[in-house]
């Protein structure tokens, strides 16, 4: 896990490793583009939050949708995911939960320091930032905001399709979390700059 995390933001990665990553990633995206007949790709990859500069070097006109989420709900959601997923990829026993929490706190902080430092490199009109909470509450409005901000076109023509999909997903409920004082202090202590950057309350 430590080896993988070192390459999320690529900050200290050797140049040879960065070149290799660029080549492999471009190859993957070319294959996907070919498979989908040249359609625009929409990629959901949280690790790319810390790779804005690298991505712009590869794709200068790439468009970015950034979805921020209240750290007090994001953190337990990430822990829940890792507790479920990590043991499936371990030959040995997975790391204990407290250590996993510390790694999540550290990696997220590194990702967002990099994102906040590099997002100004994105050309005007190629970045839209959305709150997860707003998207859950008003998905169609937020989707229209994304289409308009990035000048994608096609929203009105597909509006009814979006509505049908949202109706089909309406039974899904997001998880609710209760955090004790100690874990809230740890989250705020590590991620205060994220609270400040996106206007979330302590």
Q: Which residue has the higher pLDDT, 97 or 22?
A: 22
- Report yes or no on 162 lying in a domain: yes
**Lowest mean pLDDT segment, chosen from 29-33, 65-69, 80-84, 180-184:** 80-84
- Report yes or no on 24 lying in a domain: no
| 64, 125 contact by CB (below 8 A) | no
d(CA 123, CA 119): 9
- Report yes or no on 33 lying in a domain: no
d(CA 75, CA 56): 28
Using DSSP bridges, classify how beta strands 127-131 and 64-68 pair: parallel, antiparallel or unpaired.
parallel
CATH code: domain of residue 100: 3.40.50.300
- Report yes or no on 189 lying in a domain: yes
- Report yes or no on 168 lying in a domain: yes
Query: How is residue 104 written in tokens?
Result: 């999540």
- Report yes or no on 178 lying in a domain: yes
Instruction: Give yes or no for residue 3 having a pLDDT over 90.
Output: no
- Report yes or no on 19 lying in a domain: no
Q: What is 3-63 written as a DSSP string? A: HHHTTTS-TT--HHHHHHHHHHHHHHHHHHHHHTTTPPP----GGGGG-HHHHHHH-TT--
Segments forming the whole domain that contains residue 186: 43-198
Instruction: Give yes or no for residue 1 having a pLDDT over 80.
Output: no
pLDDT digits (tens, 9 = 90+) for 10-33: 888 899 999 999 999 999 999 999
- Report yes or no on 2 lying in a domain: no
pLDDT digits (tens, 9 = 90+) for 126-158: 999 999 999 999 999 999 999 999 999 999 999
What is the count of structural domains for the chain? 1
- Mean pLDDT for the chain overall: 93
């Amino acid at each position: 896990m430590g080896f993988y995390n070192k390459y999320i933001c690529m900050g200290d990665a050797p140049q040879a490793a960065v070149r290799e990553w660029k080549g492999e990633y471009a190859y993957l995206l070319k294959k996907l583009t070919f498979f989908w007949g040249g359609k625009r790709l929409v990629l959901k990859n949280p690790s790319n939050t810390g790779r804005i500069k690298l991505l712009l070097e590869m794709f200068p006109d790439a468009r970015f949708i950034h979805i921020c989420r209240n750290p007090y709900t994001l953190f337990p959601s990430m822990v829940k995911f890792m507790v479920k997923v990590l043991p499936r990829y371990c030959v040995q026993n997975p790391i204990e939960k407290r250590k996993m929490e510390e790694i999540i706190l550290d990696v997220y902080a590194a990702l967002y320091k990099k994102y906040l430092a590099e997002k100004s490199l994105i050309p005007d009109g190629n970045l839209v930032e959305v709150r997860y909470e707003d998207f859950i509450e008003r998905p169609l409005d937020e989707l229209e905001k994304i289409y308009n901000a990035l000048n994608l076109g096609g929203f009105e023509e597909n509006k009814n399709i979006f509505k049908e999909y949202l109706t089909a997903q309406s039974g899904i409920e997001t998880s609710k979390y209760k955090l004790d004082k100690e874990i809230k202090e740890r989250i705020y202590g590590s991620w205060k700059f994220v609270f400040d950057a996106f206007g979330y309350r302590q």
